[in-house]
Amino acid sequence: MRFPSRRLRTGLLLGATFLVGAGAVPVVQFAAVRLGITPAQAEEQAGHANTYRWLTLYGDVFERVRRDYVDPVKAKALVQNSLDGMLSGLDPHSAYMDARQFRDMEVQTSGQFGGLGIEVTEDSGLIRVISPIDDTPASRAGIKAGDLITAIDGKTVEGLPLSDAVRKMRGPVNSPITLTIKRENINTPVVVTLKREIIHIQVVKDRMEPHDIGYVRLSQFTEGANSGIRNAIAALNKQGGGKLRAVVLDLRDNPGGLLEQAVAVAGDFIDHGEIVSTRGRHPSDSQRWDASGHDLIPGVPLVVLINNGSASSSEIVSGALQDHRRAVLMGERSFGKGSVQTVIPLPGGGAMRLTTARYYTPSGRSIQGLGIEPDIKVAETYSKVAHFGPAHEWDLNHTIKNEGGTHTAPPRPDLPPIAASIPPRPPKDFPKFNPKHPTSTDFQLVQALRVANAMADETHHAVAKE
């Protein structure tokens, strides 16, 4: 069976094996002498033989389950479960998608889909919320990044594949659904009832803050991310009468998305040079992307907000802007997903999402399992928030290794003087966050606006001296 060659968006038994290898080595060496083949060829032949033995074992188990399981099981279900286990066992980001799941993914990356509006992942048998999407039933119901969904409509999610859990959370528009949640610092279950909606993701929002400082929030890297950023900058420039003094780009809790959109968004603020490179097992998976456009706001200071919910494409943009010294990064260390997944269509309408490369920032950093360290650390809350589940890539099981790059960002001698006076956390009596009044209750944003304003003043004074 041949797989289609088309690739889509690039958006990661030991004992038995050891014993077989120990027994096979002398035989392989003997065969190499008698048959006149090289040791490398003999090793390859031995590898093929072991593969056939494992496939024979798989066939034996498949037939036994199909014949003797307590209830009849369709061969299709057994094969799909096998494919899911094969891929999900590689790393947390590789997975098999049946035809329905593949269609759902394509719809989701287009920026419109049905459901609740949350990004989720599997976590030790439960479902962990990576982040709620702005202005969706999930965000309005108060679901938070880090929440663990333990039950859907009263039925436990333990033992339920992630794909099935996602399918259960989707359904007819206006139909109710109840989620049982385990939340940080709360010892009793949190039960949330909400109604499903068609999710129209407005991935970019903008507003003008005091002192002609533009605020741009990018919540996800869908197909409309780059055009949304461009429209937002144009709107802010118009609103400011062409006198936009600085911009704060908010990538907090942005779980990522399409690689090409990350490259395009970074290119909106970098006029030349590398944005990101990838290195994979095959030369075709090793590529480099350079800025191909122009800086939309040349000379205008840029501050980028990140946190542990900023992952994947968010980290590509943050890393590029940091390495090029085009922006000052503020907030908390990002998630640390430094791998690239390729979606490969399969016969029957399904697809597999396979980790095919690691990516590297312009300075050669691999952030896999490390994340992006902000230039100015600012915590969201006074007290450190405890997490029930993984808060970063390195907390997940069987993640791929960090290989082939450096681990730290180049020094930043260009940070503004105000950086030294930014408090690392809010005071104990700082007001609780109120989404209706973010400029006064979002401590990280308050500090970002301070830095942006100070950088704008420095730029103005430098120009005036010239």
Question: How large is the average pLDDT for residues 164-177?
Answer: 87
Do the beta carbons of residue 287 and residue 341 sit within 8 Å? no
Listed range (40-54, 120-134, 253-267) with the worst mean pLDDT: 40-54
Do the beta carbons of residue 181 and residue 189 sit within 8 Å? yes
Neighbours of 400 (CB within 10 A): 19
Confidence of residue 172 (pLDDT cuts 50, 70, 90): confident
pTM: 0.73
Listed range (12-16, 108-112, 265-269, 336-340) with the worst mean pLDDT: 12-16
What positions carry a catalytic annotation? 312, 323, 337
Q: Does 152 have pLDDT greater than 80?
A: yes
- Ordered by where they begin, the domains of the chain are 14-88 (no CATH), 112-200 (2.30.42.10), 204-465 (3.90.226.10)
Write the pLDDT tens digit of every residue in 2-27: 334 334 444 422 222 222 222 222 22
Write the pLDDT tens digit of every residue in 30-41: 334 444 556 666
Do the beta carbons of residue 112 and residue 198 sit within 8 Å? yes
Confidence of residue 184 (pLDDT cuts 50, 70, 90): confident
Quote the distance between the C-alpha of residue 237 and its chain's center.
Answer: 30
Greater pLDDT, 234 or 161: 234
Closest residue by Cα to residue 253 from 139, 398, 111: 139
Closest residue by Cα to residue 306 from 319, 297, 323, 294: 319
User: Mean pLDDT across the chain, nearest whole number?
Assistant: 85
Question: How large is the average pLDDT for residues 321-329?
Answer: 98
Closest residue by Cα to residue 204 from 247, 240, 243: 247
Closest residue by Cα to residue 253 from 322, 335, 160, 316: 335
Confidence of residue 463 (pLDDT cuts 50, 70, 90): low
Q: Does 317 have pLDDT greater than 60?
A: yes
Residue 407 phi, psi (nearest 5)? -120, -10
Q: Does 221 have pLDDT greater than 80?
A: yes
Listed range (121-130, 188-197, 258-267, 366-375) with the worst mean pLDDT: 121-130
Question: Which ranges of 240-300 does DSSP label H, i.e. alpha helix?
Answer: 259-267
pLDDT at 276: 97
Q: Does 372 have pLDDT greater than 50?
A: yes
% the chain with pLDDT above 70: 85
pLDDT at 40: 61
pLDDT at 38: 63
pLDDT at 345: 94
Encoded tokens for 420:
């030294």
Alpha-carbon Rg for the chain in angstroms:
25
pLDDT at 385: 66
pLDDT at 320: 97
pLDDT at 10: 45
Q: Does 322 have pLDDT greater than 90?
A: yes
Write the pLDDT tens digit of every residue in 72-121: 999 999 999 999 999 989 998 899 998 888 887 776 666 556 689 888 88
pLDDT at 32: 40
pLDDT at 459: 83
pLDDT at 461: 66
pLDDT at 318: 98
